[in-house]
Structure 1
Amino acid sequence: MIPGRDSLKTKKTLTAGGATYAYYSLAEAEKQIGDISRLPFSLKVLLENLLRFEDDRSVTVDDVKAFAGWLKEGKSTREIAYRPARVLMQDFTGVPAVVDLAAMRDAMKKLGEDPEKINPLAPVDLVIDHSVMVDYFGGPDSFKKNVDREYERNGERYKFLKWGQGAFDNFRVVPPGTGICHQVNLEYLAQTVWTAEHKGETYAYPDTLVGTDSHTTMVNGLSVLGWGVGGIEAEAAMLGQPVSMLIPEVIGFKMTGKLPEGATATDLVLTVVEMLRKKGVVGKFVEFFGPGLDHLSLEDQATIANMAPEYGATCGFFPIDNETLRYLKATGRSEDRIALVEAYAKEQGMWREAGTPDPVFTDTLELDLTSVVPSLAGPKRPQDRVLLSEAPEGFASALDKEYGKADEAGKRVAVKGESFDIGHGDVTIAAITSCTNTSNPSVLIAAGLVARNARARGLAVKPWVKTSLAPGSQVVTDYLDAAGLTDDLDALGFNLVGYGCTTCIGNSGPLPPAISEAVNENDLAVASVLSGNRNFEGRVSQDVRANYLASPPLVVAYALAGSMNINLTKDPLGEDSEGNFVFLKDIWPTNREIAEVVREHVTAQMFATRYADVFKGDDQWRAIDVGDGQTYQWPTSTYVANPPYFEGMTKEPKAVEPIKSARVLALFGESITTDHISPAGAIKEDSPAGEYLKSHQVPVEEFNSYGSRRGNHEVMMRGTFANIRIKNKMLPGTEGGVTKFTPTGEEMPIYNAAMKYKENGTPLVVMAGEQYGTGSSRDWAAKGTILLGVRAVIAKSFERIHRSNLIGMGVMPLQFKDGEGWEELGLTGDEEVTIEGVDSIEPRSTIPVSIKFANGDEKKIEALVRIDTADELDYFRHGGILHYVIRKLAA
């Protein structure tokens, strides 16, 4: 942290916990720029950041004054340069980021400069949490077997990451088997108020970060301002580049009342997601306020904050209050840190308490917590909430409208070698997984109590259900053990399978062969129920069509019921040993029971013990041997390869060429996710990526996942647009990554067509509908796009992170004007597209697009250039943000 000029003379000192800290005072700033007392708390964090880094270049006094103007208008068009305190990564996105850093060192060397100029300037923590797969489940040794398999599959990646830990300054790695990055962040890394030394002084300032996982927002529950960015943006942030952004609109979400008996934090968050999606908060901050916050635990708040990407917001922020201090203490933070957090928040007007006026927001909405009822979301989007009482009707509707199988509703088929049959709607995966809920002891304890009560009544999980427990933290195991609930979960098959994202990220592992065969041979629409945050098509498992998000106790209940066709609010789960029907209400614990177990068995000592050696790792991690070179000696590997981004790079950028006679690679509809563009799950044997791996003597059982191979561009560019459920409207009625090679009319994989176009020197464009690029902050969705030769993506609207990532790789995002789109224009994909004037664009300007039809007719339209800021324009003109950084550091 290097403070700026402090033109407004706001630097002061405060004492807390026996120590003195320098800080930049918002009260002092207010004396000079005007009233800011009722700014949203999240904007006060941004304002402090600008005060601290004001240098009259990237941050000016006028930028600071713009916040007083925001308060008058509730919005602003001011662009600011924001510098987060730190960067958080997980290994799926972290490996390619470290690959890029290593490649940047090589590029710097080729330019005749010192490669060690490429080094993180901001602290970086990388948590390896996305690579464990549920190969083994339902047994006492499932965890050990899955971890062993994880090291077998990922040894090359882990060796590379361990090299990076030694080669780069300010870079720490949390080894496999420790926990999920968001939960490690919440429970250990985050401090709410950060401190750093500079010239003999200790500075205190709000803890802020960007992360390479969209669910970085989970830590907003601990009043830490952070959100997900692509790996490309994260690399720039750690290399000292500010995050360029407009001062955001802030939507206030008022909460009143208290959750009723039987409703969980998951039910609340699914309600919030639905409400905010309807409201429309893409690109905006959401900040929670109101008396209802007094009845939410911090873990509940973190659950809501986690799902910000699902409701479309940049972040979902909760202010500092007494609950923040309670959680910091409960998770083993030091007394001195807790004292600093309280003193700093009160001094800076960042402390929430009853009786003070509410902040001023751009707009507000309100939820009475007493109205929340048990819910799920599905079958393919987190915002599609379904009441538990209406779940069977919801699935029946999907069976008809989504899968076209209404006439097969009662169909059952035999499973070879088994004494049971399965049919549409049967639950084949029931997974307590991911960070969304496993940071929250109340819902995990509830799941354990449901399991205990079910076991006591003699109920069993249906034999076609693959069960798993993958907590976000080792502390979860400690308190489940202490409460005696591990045995009950194990008895129902919810044995520990790993500490990682597993099912939520597509690492659900294979279904038992006989069940997979029955599903695929009979084209069954079976279901998964998971306690995660993502349920997009093709994400959880290639065998599973319908995916539902639910609370951990409901995951257990659906494993017992075995079907989405059963109404858990009134149909029995099964019979007890005496033949009596057992209903969900008979085994569901009360809120008081749950609270008592949490109070007795979740202790601060558990957190202190588990995180004492968090960077040490297990025996297998410590046994990995790496060299100590400052540039990487790239091995021959299908996991890690030197990417081609910087081939032929010069010290000065060349003018951006116009896009002439481009062909359309694909036409897409609405809500194309980053999972559609760059899947993270299994690699199909007959796909271009599968063919590539086989040509390198990789057996099918060692394919691993797309996510685990993100360090190898050859695999990832072949996997671009390769999701099994993606629909290219150039070939109506088809599914999967296929397109038409227009010159011959031949149907082929998108990768193959792109390479044929590249041979001919033909540029490419992609066209799409609304919300292009929703979902995870996946940099490969942009990297793969540019490597296929796509120069521009023209869509009706873009998701924030993906739009930024496209620019960061030198792809131009263009937006159709209102009322226009490729369908409205009557396009079929046979057209040629020309875009002139690419080298003279300005932020948010318009550009003419000429479309030539196959019959020779031409249509001209104006498209909006979704390069929103001057910094983004610089990145685009340099061919990408990494090129820009290299040239800047070289100069």
Structure 2
Amino acid sequence: MAHAKSKYSHINSFHALQTLQVGTHNYQYFSLPKAAERLGDLSKLPKSLKVLLENLLRFEDNHTVTSAHIHAIADWLKQKTSEQEIQYRPARVLMQDFTGVPAVVDLAAMRAAVAKAGQNPDKINPLSPVDLVIDHSVMVDHFASSHAFHDNVEIEMQRNAERYQFLRWGQSAFNNFSVVPPGTGICHQVNLEYLAQAVWTAEDDGQTFAFPDTLVGTDSHTTMINGLGVLGWGVGGIEAEAAMLGQPISMLIPEVIGFKLTGKLPEGITATDLVLTITQMLRKKGVVGKFVEFYGDGLADLPLADRATIANMAPEYGATCGFFPIDEVTLGYLRLTGRQPERIALVEAYSQAQGLWRNAGDEPEFTDSLSLDMSSVQACLAGPKRPQDRVLLSNVAKTFDEVLELSIKPAKQDKEKLENEGGGTAVAAQTASVQNDAPSCTLNGEHFELKHGDVVISAITSCTNTSNPSVMLAAGLLAKKAIEKGLQRKPWVKSSLAPGSKVVTDYLDAAGLTPYLNQLGYQLVGYGCTTCIGNSGPLPEVIEEAIQCHDLNVASVLSGNRNFEGRVHPLVKTNWLASPPLVIAFGLAGTIRIDLTTEPLATNDQGEAIYLKDIWPTTEEITTALRQVNTAMFHREYAQVFEGDASWKAIQIPESQTYAWDDTSTYIQHPPFFAGIDQPPAPIDNIVDARILAVLGDSVTTDHISPAGNIKKDSPAGRYLQAHGVEPKDFNSYGSRRGNHEVMMRGTFANIRIKNEMLGGEEGGNTIHIPSGEKLAIYDAAMRYQQEHTPLLIIAGKEYGTGSSRDWAAKGTNLLGVKAVIAESFERIHRSNLVGMGVLPLQFVDGQTRQSLNLTGREIISISGLSDHLQPHQSLQVHVKRDDGSRDQFEVLCRIDTLNEVEYFKAGGILHYVLRHLIAS
């Protein structure tokens, strides 16, 4: 693997290398129309596949990319699918700090390993540009005050001083590595508004090459940039690190699902309503591991910000990407956001020359397709725990009541059991809970009762919607009308506004809407993901006590993209995704148990019932407000995007090629992954006499496997931190502790909402140690199994690993001693991450499940068929020894999907593979 600057294809077997003149500039490029003279007609190829084809033409080397790979994409049109593996090289890498810190920790550890091997640690350096945006660390500790932003940022800097010092060291130690400091914006919004160029350029051999802007990101919502015609998707930090170090991304040429958009959104319907509708449709269709490409003449009137909102949610509908082609709307957005005129001219000329430009009536050929007339979209939310579960606004209360009834039934049963056993005070407590005995609370001098369904968090947050001026301005307009009607948010509602960039603050100020948002308690709390990533901060103490003492099922409403169990706040059981104006509306109502289409939001001081329709902004009002968004705002806010404030600049950093690890740090520790890297990897062998660590159900997310938010005081991670002198108030979050493997392995499978079927579905990260029968935290059980030299397995249902591209969900699984995960199906990124960490993903076949095979978790499992001759999609045999001595066996499909992945697995993981090659060279 060469460390020198990469060279573009000099093989050029399809004679595609051409010159494109734009103004006075000449660019070298690999022409798709020229290649088509030898490949055949490519005009009907989906535009997203054209981007992949150009990538292969540019990197043709007769080794990682051959003419057969290039022909395979052209031949895709025959069957609209392909089994061909290709090697794809994105132009750049995007990171956020939760995933970026462990990635830089890995790079630092790799440098240490290279130095230990007696070689130059500078061998470990990104070969492609890497931008890391610090956006996941700010928490909503303070809210509804004029000093909330200042106080939250101050606390953020204090909490994360070690992490930020480490990132600043990385910025100085590594080439091609830039850090956008905290308090700037969300990585995807910074990417959309500033970093992305739609067409990228690079110097090589004294010439300027032009090619599509492409990237991978260590956050699953990297797909947001697809709205700008940029092909990008989320990968785990493991895969991103390999890409940084020059390793191509191994992938199968995907199926492409076309999504045709026609018509226009009706009056009063937002982009959020549209994206929740699309998410539900595509989840139902089944697009996991596939590209989705949007087309149709409805795109002509679909703003770029709306496209980005739809593309952002690709992980929620399960697709690898949600791609929009380049057209006049794209160019208009590039102009608005202050891209250079020369670049905009290049984007237009290049995309037209390459057949990447959207023309009216374009109908590419797809594997399959579906369509939506946007005029049919209705107001909606998604919840209570999955983003694909769309609920019409009129049905939200009914849906919540159904969920509540399900949660109350066990309580009723427990009450009856207690009565039969002569329960006393326990019966009284259960009776109060079942009958919804509402506790009386006093907060800031206001008295109220807190009830099931009350909204305790109302948060405008997350890249999905804060990148979209139309919905943000709609929220401001709704706030203005609410104040004018004499409304105020309910006192039990924790309200917050966390924009995705400083530009949002500029245009809300310019439109005169900030004072109204402030009056309702939606003051600026920070520029970052906040509530959507679980950084919602604590609820007022009186609220938390009421929820816990009375077992209340309360709600959050947020403008985010994720509402998984236990993610937003550990005490909030139901979480609802909504547009920013609806977030405020539910903050005014104070409850989710309301039909906002027919019932009044609230009554003002004059006794007047105010309905949602009375304060909902018109399309004309939003359009007028949108005129305040101007190019000067983007120029001003991004002029010094990498500079940071005085606190950032004051961070002292050591100047050294290798990192000086501090054994006392509870944030950054030298990880154990590369121990023994100078020795040959152990041969692949069968798994013998393994125990099952957990039996899990469907839709287990990476949040369940590796939580990002709250660390419980009495959890293994909490006990570790306290043993190292950290008080619970300073625990911070799992996400912020990802540079410390000791915390993260203790946090693996520690989500308070995870349900291990070995414990009858009881919530919490516990298991049964076999054969002792002792109930233990999963981490504690795993450590005991390691002492007993017992390999471990995880058994799961459908869609295992949905959600964030969280490499610690695979790293933690590895460190617990899990050798394989057997599931009904895997989400794309997590399957790849498991392989990248040397954990075997295996899939049930022939409709079999853990239930049909009667797997209880008490079995001894062996897996045969593993050897150094392992092949992609190989069948393996699972041998089961049950408690009663009986034996059984079944077949599973090995979900190592490509030959490259086989090589990674043999090496112990993708980074081990890369590092071994670097040391060998």
Q: Which residue of 2 aligns with 1:467?
A: 495
Q: How many angstroms apart in 2 are the aligned matches of 1:409 and 1:536? A: 27
The Cα of 1:882 is off from its aligned counterpart by: 0.8
| One-letter amino acid of the counterpart of residue 637, structure 2 | R
Q: How many residues align?
A: 889
* Partner of residue 728, structure 1: 756
Residue 428 of structure 2 corresponds to which residue in structure 1?
none
Cα deviation 1:425-482 (Å, max 9, x = unaligned): 0000000001000000000000000000000011000000000000000000000011
Query: Which runs of structure 2 are paired with 1:449-488 in the superposition (5 Å)?
Result: 449-488=477-516
Scaled by the length of structure 1, the TM-score of the pair is 0.99
What is the identity, as a one-letter code, of the residue corresponding to 2:638? Y
* Alignment-derived partner of residue 322 in structure 1: 328
Q: Residues 25-57 of structure 1, C-alpha deviation per residue, up to 9 Å, x if partnerless?
A: 001110001111110110000000000000111
The answer as to 2:883 corresponding to 1:851 is: no
Shift of 1:18: 2.2
1:861 aligns with 2:894: no
Work out the CA distance in 2 between the residues paired with 1:480 and 1:760. Answer: 61
CA contact (8 A) 1:433 1:532 kept: yes
- TM-score relative to the length of structure 2: 0.96
One of 118, 123, 129 as aligned partner of 1:117: 123
Contact 1:132 1:507 in 2 (8 A): yes
Deviation, 1:819, is 1.7
Q: Give 2:49's match in structure 1, choosing from 18, 37, 43.
A: 43
Post-superposition offset of 1:114:
1.8
Name 1:236's counterpart in structure 2: 242
Aligned counterpart, 1:871: 900
| 2:61 aligned with 1:55 | yes
Provide, for residues 806-857 of structure 1, a one-character-per-residue CA deviation record: whole Å limited to 9, x for no partner: 0000000011112212211112111111112322321001011111111111
* CA 823–354 in structure 1, closer or farther in 2 if over 3 Å, else same: same
How far apart are the structure 1 equivalents of 2:541 and 2:403? Answer: 26
> 1:486: Cα distance to partner?
0.5
Corresponding residue number in structure 2 for 1:248: 254
- 1:359 aligns with 364
Rounded to whole Å, the distance in 2 between the matches of 1:691 and 1:121 is 40
Percentage of pairs with the same residue: 64
Shift in Å, 1:575: 2.1
Distance 1:403 1:23, change over 3 A: farther
2:427 maps to none
User: Where does the alignment leave 5 or more consecutive residues of structure 1 unmatched?
Assistant: none
2:423 alignment counterpart: none
The CA deviation at 1:158 is: 0.2
Taking the TM superposition and a 5 Å limit, the aligned residue runs for 1:129-208 are 129-208=135-214
Look up the match of 1:837.
865
Return the alpha-carbon distance in structure 2 between the equivalents of residues 315 and 737 of structure 1.
32
Q: Which moved further from structure 2: 357-366 or 297-306?
A: 357-366
Q: Does 1:793 align with 2:821?
A: yes
Counterpart in 1 of 2:624? 596
Aligned position for 1:660: 688
Distance in 2 (CA, whole Å) between partners of 1:566 and 1:669 is 32
**Other-structure match for 1:16:** 22
User: Contact 1:111 / 1:651 at 8 angstroms: preserved in 2?
Assistant: no
Preserved CA contact (<8 Å) 2:32 2:54: yes
1: distance between equivalents of 2:891 and 2:393?
Answer: 47
**Counterpart amino acid of 1:386?**
V
1:706 matched to 2:734? The reply is yes
CA distance in 2, matches of 1:400, 1:81: 51
8 Å Cα contact 2:677/2:916 also seen in 1: no
Give the CA deviation at 1:408: 4.2
1:387 and 1:654 map into 2 onto residues whose CA distance is 55
374, 377, 381: which one aligns with 2:379: 374
Question: SS of the counterpart of 1:412?
Answer: coil
Structure 1 residue runs of 4+, over 6 Å off? Answer: none
2:706 equivalent in structure 1 = 678
User: Over aligned residues, Cα RMSD in angstroms?
Assistant: 1.1
Q: Which deviates further from its counterpart, 815-824 or 736-745?
A: 815-824
Confirm or deny: 8 A CA contact 1:411 1:424 kept in the other structure.
no
Corresponding residue of 2:441:
415
Q: Identify the residue that residue 636 of structure 2 maps to in structure 1.
A: 609
Aligned to 1:890: 919
* Aligned counterparts of 1:86 and 1:402: Cα–Cα separation in 2: 47
State how far apart, in whole Å, the 2-side matches of 1:556 and 1:251 are: 35
Q: Which deviates more from structure 2 when the two are superposed, residues 290-299 or residues 135-144?
A: 290-299
- Measured against aligned partners, the alpha-carbon deviations of 1:675-701 in whole angstroms (never above 9, x if no partner) come to 000000000000000000000010000
Does 2:280 correspond to 1:274? yes
From 664, 668, 672, give the equivalent of 1:640. 668
CA distance in 2 between counterparts of 1:661 and 1:271 reads 47
- Aligned position for 1:388: 393
Give CA deviations for 1:112-140 in whole Å, capped at 9, x if unaligned: 22211111001100000000000000000
Counterpart of 1:460 in 2: which secondary structure?
coil
State whether residues 841 and 847 of structure 1, in contact with CA within 8 Å, keep that contact through their aligned partners in structure 2: no
Residue 403 (structure 1) shift: 5.5
Over 3 Å counting, the alpha-carbon distance change for 1:360 and 1:661 in structure 2 is: same
**Mapped contact 1:254–1:289 kept (Cα < 8 A):** yes
1:98 to 104, 110, 125: 104
Change (3 A) 1:838 1:403: farther
Conserved 8 A contact 1:660-1:763: yes
| Corresponding residue for residue 421 of structure 2 | none
**CA separation in 2, counterparts of 1:38 and 1:841?**
37
Deviation for aligned residue 1:416: 5.1
Do residues 782 (structure 1) and 810 (structure 2) align?
yes
| Counterpart residue number, 2:430 | none
Aligned mates of 1:416, 1:186 — CA distance in 2: 44
Displacement, 1:653?
Answer: 2.2
In structure 2, the residue corresponding to 1:338 is in which secondary structure? Answer: helix
For 2:846 and 2:734, the matched residues in 1 are separated by 36
Structure 1 residue corresponding to 2:583, chosen from 555, 563, 566: 555
* TM-fit CA distance, 1:60: 0.6
Aligned to 1:581: 609
Structure 1 stretch displaced more, 648-657 or 606-615: 648-657
The one-letter code of the counterpart of 2:455 is: V
Match of 1:690 among 689, 706, 718: 718
Which residue identity lines up with residue 561 of structure 2 in the other structure?
A: N
> Is the contact made by 2:408 and 2:434 (CA closer than 8 Å) also made in structure 1?
no
Aligned-partner Cα distance in 1 for 2:73–2:816: 42
Shift, 1:862, TM fit: 1.1
Output the CA distance in 2 between the equivalents of 1:30 and 1:733. Answer: 57
CA separation in 2, counterparts of 1:157 and 1:749?
A: 28
Note if contact 2:397-2:592 (Cα within 8 Å) is conserved in structure 1: yes
Q: Which amino acid aligns with 1:710?
A: R
Q: CA deviation at 1:402?
A: 4.8
- More divergent stretch after superposition (570-579 vs 443-452): 570-579
Cα separation, 1, equivalents of 2:442 and 2:820: 49
- Per the TM alignment, residue 733 of structure 1 is displaced from its structure 2 partner at its CA by 3.9
Q: Which residue, out of 584, 595, 598, partners 1:570?
A: 598
Matched position secondary structure for 1:286: strand
Point out the more displaced range, 641-650 or 163-172. 641-650
> What's the CA shift for 1:6?
1.2
* Aligned match of 2:426: none
CA shift at 1:410, angstroms?
A: 5.3
